[in-house]
Chains A and B, each alone.
Chain A
Amino acid sequence: DVKVTQSSRYLVKRTGEKVFLECVQDMDHENMFWYRQDPGLGLRLIYFSYDVKMKEKGDIPEGYSVSREKKERFSLILESASTNQTSMYLCASRVTSLYEQYFGPGTRLTVT
């Protein structure tokens, strides 16, 4: 079974802190994605990566950056957390030639 794990299920941070959200997949997938999920807005793509050291902006990249130094790990970075970044963050991975995205369980981030 494909496994996508996220470093924390729940996280509470203060405004202005630098926040790292980690995602690891164990199936050698080329593509990885970071989404945020908000009620009434569905899933919105923040960043994605086609391969190691490659990244592309999604629909809402402002206030976020990413890092992909190894194929299995994709990190989302909030350089200076703000209260409007309180949300559920979902990571996903996918084999390039297939279409199914496998999702992690999510990290619920609260910024106070």
Chain B
Amino acid sequence: AQSVTQLDSQVPVFEEAPVELRCNYSSSVSVYLFWYVQYPNQGLQLLLKYLSGSTLVESINGFEAEFNKSQTSFHLRKPSVHISDTAEYFCAVKRKGGNEKLTFGTGTRLTIIP
């Protein structure tokens, strides 16, 4: 079975400052990794995903995440945050192959301070 740990439940950051949201996973088999974002009063949206290839993946709104197999991590970063980035961010893992379900972390609430 897979598990995901997001150690930070809340992260306050000043506007235009950098941010890192941490995600560590545990799995005995190869996995795919995802970050989902939930804006206030909305459902979840896929932010970015790692399936294979380059370990650095980017989203269209400036976020990036790096898959680190040795540290079993998939941290999410942004060099300069905006008020509009205020949201809850969920890391998720899925075992490669088949119709396996996603396993989500407990989420990190990112609050941007003007």
Interface mask (B1-40 → A, CB under 8 Å = 1, otherwise 0): 0000010010000000000000000000000101010000
Q: B46 near A: Cβ within 8 Å?
A: yes
Q: In this complex, what residue of B is CB-closest to A91?
A: B43
- CB-defined contacts of B101 to chain A, threshold 8 Å: 33, 45, 48, 58
Establish whether residues A90 and B44, one from each chain, have CB atoms under 8 Å apart when the complex forms: yes
Q: In this complex, what residue of B is CB-closest to A38?
A: B106
Of the candidates B41, B99, B105, which one forms a contact with A42 in the assembled complex, judged by CB atoms under 8 Å apart?
Answer: B105
What is the interface of chain B mostly: helix, strand, loop, or mixed?
loop
Q: B102 near A: Cβ within 8 Å?
A: yes
Q: Decide: A96 near B90, CB < 8 A? Known: A40-B106, A103-B45.
A: no
How many chain-B residues does the 8 Å CB contact rule pick out?
A: 22
- CB-defined contacts of A50 to chain B, threshold 8 Å: 99
Interface mask (B37-78 → A, CB under 8 Å = 1, otherwise 0): 000011111100101000000000000000000000000000
- CB-defined contacts of A40 to chain B, threshold 8 Å: 9, 106
Establish whether residues B102 and A42, one from each chain, have CB atoms under 8 Å apart when the complex forms: no
- CB-defined contacts of A104 to chain B, threshold 8 Å: 43
- CB-defined contacts of A96 to chain B, threshold 8 Å: 99
How many chain-A residues does the 8 Å CB contact rule pick out?
A: 23
Establish whether residues B94 and A99, one from each chain, have CB atoms under 8 Å apart when the complex forms: yes
Establish whether residues A31 and B43, one from each chain, have CB atoms under 8 Å apart when the complex forms: no
Q: In this complex, what residue of A is CB-closest to B109?
A: A39
Q: A101 near B: Cβ within 8 Å?
A: yes
Establish whether residues B94 and A103, one from each chain, have CB atoms under 8 Å apart when the complex forms: no
Besides the known contacts A42-B6, A58-B101, 17 further A-B residue pairs in the complex with CB atoms under 8 A apart: A4-B43, A31-B99, A33-B101, A42-B104, A43-B44, A43-B104, A45-B102, A48-B101, A50-B99, A90-B44, A99-B49, A101-B44, A101-B46, A104-B43, A105-B41, A105-B42, A106-B42
